[in-house]
């Protein structure tokens, strides 16, 4: 399984970091997780044709996680690929139906299936040889963390969240936890994570999680990279990695 970070940034523009997106290749079949602004161009940079992407998992509907989804659907349609499956939390169907309804000329041409899931649900995305389990993240809107389990390995993607038990329980035993880390230690934040708040929660999960990879960085994180890795070292079994756009990990 190959994991490529397409976007490791947030709603505020930053040099070198576009908004959220992770491309997972399972037996060469691509699964996209989140699709914020800038992700469509990053897909091009990976060399994976965007027309191969017909399955998208959305953690939640904040713009920095969904802004390029309709752009991807339009680009696919213009290249003759019209089917797409979107998996997301409650509200995804209403949101997408409303959005697509504003663009009748696209709506008439594409065949998009939207499936909503809730915490505790498990499903197999159509055409994939993997299982996906969902847990509720702690964010300001309904947000799902996903665990992707395949013969090649398993990882959890936290989505936007405060460190919370539901997400870490989902990650226990996984090879990799991709967790958001929006702000540096010392900042008072809700709905998001700092290295200190994550470390505190990880106390109870020492060595239960493989490697830890952090993403979803606000500009305030710049300059705090070393202390972040230092703060979180020792909580997971493997490395602590700070994601960069177009960085790849293999499971």
List the catalytic residues. Answer: 64
Give the interface segment with Zn ion, choosing from 38-46, 62-70, 77-85, 100-108 (CB under 5 A): 62-70
How near is the Cβ of 91 to Zn ion at its closest, in Å?
13
Residue 25 makes contact with Zn ion by CB under 5 A: no
Residue 64 makes contact with Zn ion by CB under 5 A: yes
Nearest to 6 by CA among 178, 138, 189: 178
Residues 6+ apart with CB under 8 A from 129: 26, 27, 150, 151
Residues 6+ apart with CB under 8 A from 122: 131, 132, 133, 134
How near is the Cβ of 61 to Zn ion at its closest, in Å?
8
- The rounded distance, in Å, linking the Cα atoms of 156 and 170 is 7
Our CB check for Zn ion shows the closer of 68 and 160 to be 160
Residue 34 makes contact with Zn ion by CB under 5 A: no
Cβ atoms of residues 22 and 3 within 8 Å: yes
Our CB check for Zn ion shows the closer of 130 and 138 to be 138
Backbone angles phi, psi at 207, to 5 degrees: 65, 5
x/- string (CB under 5 A) for Zn ion, residues 101-140?
----------------------------------------
How near is the Cβ of 60 to Zn ion at its closest, in Å?
6
Our CB check for Zn ion shows the closer of 81 and 139 to be 139
How near is the Cβ of 242 to Zn ion at its closest, in Å?
17
According to CB under 5 A, which one of 42, 50, 62, 231 is a site residue for Zn ion? Answer: 62
Tokens of residue 27, six digits: 């037996």
Site for Zn ion in 135-174 (CB under 5 A): 160
- The rounded distance, in Å, linking the Cα atoms of 19 and 115 is 23
Cβ atoms of residues 195 and 181 within 8 Å: yes
Burial letters 59-83, b for 16+ CB under 10 A, else e: bbbbebbbbbbbebbbbbbeeebee
How near is the Cβ of 231 to Zn ion at its closest, in Å?
21
Give the interface segment with Zn ion, choosing from 60-68, 110-118, 204-212, 242-250 (CB under 5 A): 60-68
Tell me the Cα Rg of the chain: 17
x/- string (CB under 5 A) for Zn ion, residues 65-94?
------------------------------
Nearest to 40 by CA among 2, 12, 79: 79
Our CB check for Zn ion shows the closer of 19 and 228 to be 19
How near is the Cβ of 145 to Zn ion at its closest, in Å?
12
Backbone angles phi, psi at 84, to 5 degrees: -155, 140
Residues that bind Zn ion (CB under 5 A): 62, 64, 160
């Amino acid at each position: 399984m190959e994991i490529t970070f397409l976007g490791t940034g947030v709603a505020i523009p930053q040099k070198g970091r576009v908004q959220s997106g992770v491309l997972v290749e399972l037996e060469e079949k691509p699964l996209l997780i989140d699709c914020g602004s800038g992700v469509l161009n990053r897909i091009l940079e990976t060399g994976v044709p965007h027309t191969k992407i017909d399955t998208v998992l959305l953690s939640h509907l904040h713009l920095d996680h969904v802004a390029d989804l309709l752009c991807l659907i339009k680009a696919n349609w213009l290249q003759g690929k019209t089917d797409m499956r979107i998996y997301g939390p409650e509200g995804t169907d209403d949101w997408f139906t409303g959005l697509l309804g504003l663009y009748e000329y696209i709506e008439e041409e594409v065949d998009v299936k939207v499936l909503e899931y809730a915490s505790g649900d498990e499903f197999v995305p159509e055409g994939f040889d993997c299982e996906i389990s969902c847990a509720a993240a702690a964010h300001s809107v309904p947000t799902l963390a996903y665990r992707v389990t395949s013969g090649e390995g398993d990882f959890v993607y936290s989505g936007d969240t405060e460190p919370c038990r539901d997400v870490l329980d989902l990650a226990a035993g996984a090879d990799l936890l991709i967790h958001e880390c929006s702000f540096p230690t010392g900042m008072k934040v809700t709905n998001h994570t700092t290295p200190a708040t994550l470390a505190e929660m990880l106390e109870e999960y020492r060595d239960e999680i493989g490697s830890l990879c952090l993403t979803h960085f606000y500009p305030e994180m710049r300059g705090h990279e070393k202390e972040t890795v230092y703060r979180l070292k020792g909580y997971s079994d493997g490395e602590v990695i700070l994601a960069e756009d177009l960085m790849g990990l293999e499971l």
